[in-house]
Homo-oligomer: A and B are copies of this chain.
Amino acid sequence: MNYTEMSQSAMEMMLADLRESYDTYVSMNLKLDMSRGKPGEDQLALSNDMLTILCEDDFTSPGGIDCRNYGGLEGIPEMKALFADILDISPEEVIVGGNSSLAMMFDNVAVNMTHGVRDGEPWLTQGKVKFLCPSPGYDRHFTICEYFHIHMIPVPMTPTGPDMDIVENLLASDPMIKGMWCVPVFSNPEGIVYSDETVRRLAALKPAAEDFRLYWDNAYCIHHFNGRQPVVPNILRECEKAGNPHMPLIFASFSKVSLAGAGVAAMAGSLSNCEYIRQRFFVQTIGPDKLSQLRHVRFFKNYEGVMKHMGKMAEILRPKFATVLDKLADELEGLGIAEWNKPEGGYFISFNILDGCAKRTVALCKEAGVVMTGAGATYPYGKDPRDRNIRIAPTYPSVSELQKAMEVFCLAVKIAALEKLMEA
């Protein structure tokens, strides 16, 4: 039954019923968390052998580097090679960092703000810096912008990626737009894979700012759990072809491959961009933890090893996503109050309720002990203009916890929607 076609009195009766069920859940004192894209224990357990893969007299990289000591500012060659294979580029185009690709993104924004892109003026002395932010998007990208007082311009997402007409128009005319966040594969939160055309149009952008940079956060480049791993055109090669060799800054990480807090991150880009970051690294740090890199190299061995591992990961994630999607279909399909995507990879399900109902839904969930990502978090400044988007993160809870959490969630959605419809 479509809620939007119900009479006021039918809605009243329905709401009373739903509230009764909801109160039962409230009294259960649940404590469930679907707020962050955090791997579950079962996913982490796949990499437990990494903890014992080195031994007392085994700390030397295949190429002969003592991984215990100082040195090796941009990672051991074997780790660079592994990232190069994953990203389909050459090892010279990779700089391996510490355990956080977020930190590498932050750093790249920071250096461009204070020192400019290589051979450029510092962004912050040029005026009010702006970034294009495809939305809904990843809240941590937006937080970096906020931290540096970068003005964020939301760009709508389409099923093939950011709306490229809007992107091209904005970039062509405003030289203060210095950056754009992209999650090209299984975008956060919608799980959208950029189409070939989108990638090529991005590569061929003609930004008014010569020092514009495309922040290409390939966080989920090998993170499919259904069907085949999608392949998007190689952004570095496409940008070269289009005459924009230094435009893309690519980021990737093992956080959602091996161990979330003890993975290895990398950035990639033109040789000139790599050299620029290498110079900063020299000033900034003694270098990344090479023992962690050696553990990764030994454990995964090569690209095939990584992909085999991700196959096991998919087996764990598939039932979790299916639990959420089945519940949404069972409870909400046909009610006319919500839409959601059905991703084949990544970490999230993006859920849109009737306008003006997201905050209320999340609050109802919280009251019943189910923590969701804050409504609005997927938009710049935490402000969803339509207050409708909720990010569901199914990875951390167990399947049975997910079932319970989704029951609460679907109840909250129905209640919030009915309240809204009855107002109208």
Contact = CB atoms under 8 A, between A and B. Distances in A.
A262 B113 CA distance: 30
Contacts of A255: 70, 286
Task: With a 10 A CB-CB cut-off, give which of A36, A106, A124, A284 has the most chain B CB atoms.
Answer: A284
A259 B291 contact: yes
A225 to B, nearest CB: 19
A38 B280 contact: no
A57 interface: yes
Interface in A40-94: 41, 44, 47-49, 51-52, 54-59, 66-72
A286 B101 CA distance: 8
A377 to B, nearest CB: 14
Contacts of A124: 114
Interface in A93-143: 98-100, 102-103, 106, 110, 113-114, 124, 140, 143
Interface string A130-173: 00000000001001101110000000000000000000000000
B106 A114 contact: no
A175 B57 CA distance: 54
A44 B69 contact: yes
Copies of this chain in the oligomer: 2
Nearest to A114: B114
A39 interface: yes
A287 interface: yes
Interface residues of A, number: 56
B59 A51 contact: yes
Contacts of A14: none
Given A262-B290, A286-B102, A56 B67 contact: no
Contact of A286 (B67, B100, B148, B282): B100
A285 B106 contact: yes
A38 B262 contact: no
Contacts of A103: 284-286
A289 interface: yes
Interface string A363-383: 000000000000000000000
A51 B57 CA distance: 9
Top 6 closest A-B pairs, CB basis?
Answer: A103-B285, A48-B56, A68-B259, A147-B283, A262-B291, A100-B286
29 contacts: A36-B70, A38-B71, A41-B66, A48-B56, A48-B59, A49-B56, A51-B54, A51-B56, A51-B58, A51-B59, A51-B291, A52-B56, A68-B259, A68-B260, A69-B260, A70-B255, A71-B261, A100-B285, A100-B287, A103-B285, A106-B284, A114-B124, A140-B283, A143-B283, A147-B283, A261-B288, A262-B291, A262-B292, A289-B289
